[in-house]
Amino acid sequence: MDFGNDLDFLDQPEFGEPDFFTKAPIELMGPTLGLDIHQNEADFEEADINEDIGEIKSEGFCFKLAPDECPSEFARSLKHLGPKLADFKHGTTTLAFEYQDGIIVAVDARATQGAFIASNKVRKVIEINEYLLGTMAGGAADCQFWERYLAMQCRIYELRNSEKISIAAASKILADICYSYRGYGLSMGTMVAGSDLKKGAQLFYVDNDATRVRGQLFSVGSGSPFAYGVLDTNYKWDLTTEEAIALGIRAISSATHKDSASGGVVRVYHVNNQGGWTKIHDQLDVNEDHYKFENSKGLRGDGKEGFGKLKL
């Protein structure tokens, strides 16, 4: 079944049968993905940036560049070129922390464009594969696309080496991508949380400057100062999983209350030490959680305790 580059295979009688495709070469299935680029690990970081032709070829992708004197400056200044063009969704609160029984990842779900709430149901935890999670802050498209690509790379690693990729290596792939596109205005602040059988659960922070840090407790986004406040007060290594989940929810709810660019629902994931993760809460309304928490303290929840005194 060697097809070459012509379309003769269309005439073959078995074309269209399910069996046909399982045997078809991979570049025929998805030539645009270009899986054949990485013949060896050495060309992995080689991004061929050719500004004269106006494209970046790297990782098997071809990104078109603007026909401008300095395309990288063009790409960086996108947000000034057209309204809403690259109005990146900076407003967010995401957090993750390691504790004795794994990692808790908790995020809000609001996407804002300026003051406009574009959505209250965004998925900011990207399920990369069955043992890796990535969070999303900054440019939604950047995070979604490159973490999807990371999933692909992790699978290829597994096929090549017959073992799962380590969390450190997976987060390094993402950091390398950020490094090769430095100066082009990528915007991502992500936490890679995952679990392998050798080292258990591990947490890395990766951002668009290609910073990559291993740590115990991170919070990213405009609501992070508020989340850090709650987290640092109540965090300890020996939390039980129930306590850790409650702490994650509490920190996100508090942040969404004070920070107007965060809100919607909380989504909570637990990464265990046995090489996997589970989704704990798919969508927990922060509003209901806020009222429940304030009522448990004997408050009304709407902050209107002294409203009776107000005169018209």
Partner 1 sequence: MSIMDYNGSAMVAMKGKNCVAIAADTRLSQQLCTISQNMQKVFKVNDRCLFGLAGLATDVATYSKELKMKTNMYKLTENRDIKASTFTDLVATSLYEKRFGPYFVVPVVAGLDDKGDGEYEPVIASYDYIGCKEQSYFACAGTSQSFLYGVCESFYKEDMNPDELFEAVSQSLLAAMDRDSLAGWGATVYVLTPTEIIVKNIKTRQD
Partner 2 sequence: MSKMDFHAKLAGNIFKIDNDDTEKAPAMERGFNPYVTNEGTVAAVAGKDFCKVVGDTRCSLGYTILSRDLSKITKLTDKVVVATAGMRADAIALHKVLLTRIKTYKAKFHKYPDIDVIARMLGNTLYGRRFFPYYTFNLLCGINSEGEGAIYGYDAVGSYDRVNCGAMGSGSELIVPILDNQIKDHNVLEPEAPSDTEIVENVLRDSMHAAAERDIYTGDGLEMFTIDKDGIRFEKEPLRRD
Q: Which residues are catalytic?
A: 92
Closer CB to partner 2, 102 or 134, in the complex: 134
**Least separation, in Å, of the C-beta of 292 and partner 1?**
11
Task: Report the distance separating Cα 211 and Cα 106, nearest Å.
Answer: 21
Contact positions vs partner 1 (CB under 8 A): 91, 108, 110, 112, 115-117, 120, 222, 256-264, 286-287, 290-291, 301-304, 306-307, 310, 312
Q: Which two tokens mark 249? A: 């929810």
Which DSSP string do the residues of 82-135 spell out, in sequence order? STTSS-------EEEEEETTEEEEEE---EEETTEEEES----EEEEETTEEEE
Are the C-beta atoms of residues 203 and 214 closer than 8 Å to each other? yes
Closer CB to partner 2, 28 or 197, in the complex: 28
18: exposed, middle or buried (Cβ count in 10 Å: 0-12, 13-18, 19+): exposed
How far is residue 9 from each of residues 3, 15, 21, 36, 271, measured CA to CA in Å? 6, 7, 11, 20, 46
**Least separation, in Å, of the C-beta of 270 and partner 1?**
23
**Least separation, in Å, of the C-beta of 302 and partner 1?**
5
Contact positions vs partner 2 (CB under 8 A): 7, 10, 15-16, 21, 28, 32, 49, 51-52, 56, 61-86, 90, 116, 119, 121-123, 139-145, 182-187, 208
150 secondary structure, DSSP code: H
How far is residue 100 from each of residues 131, 167, 188, 237, 241, measured CA to CA in Å? 18, 18, 28, 6, 9
Closer CB to partner 2, 49 or 247, in the complex: 49
CA contacts within 13 A on the Cβ side of 170 = 33
Closer CB to partner 2, 21 or 169, in the complex: 21
Q: Residue 291: name its binding partner from partner 2, partner 1, none (Cβ under 5 to 8 Å by kind).
A: partner 1
Task: Report the distance separating Cα 60 and Cα 33, nearest Å.
Answer: 6
- Closest to 263 (Cα-Cα) out of 136, 121, 135: 121
**Least separation, in Å, of the C-beta of 263 and partner 1?**
3
Closer CB to partner 1, 144 or 222, in the complex: 222
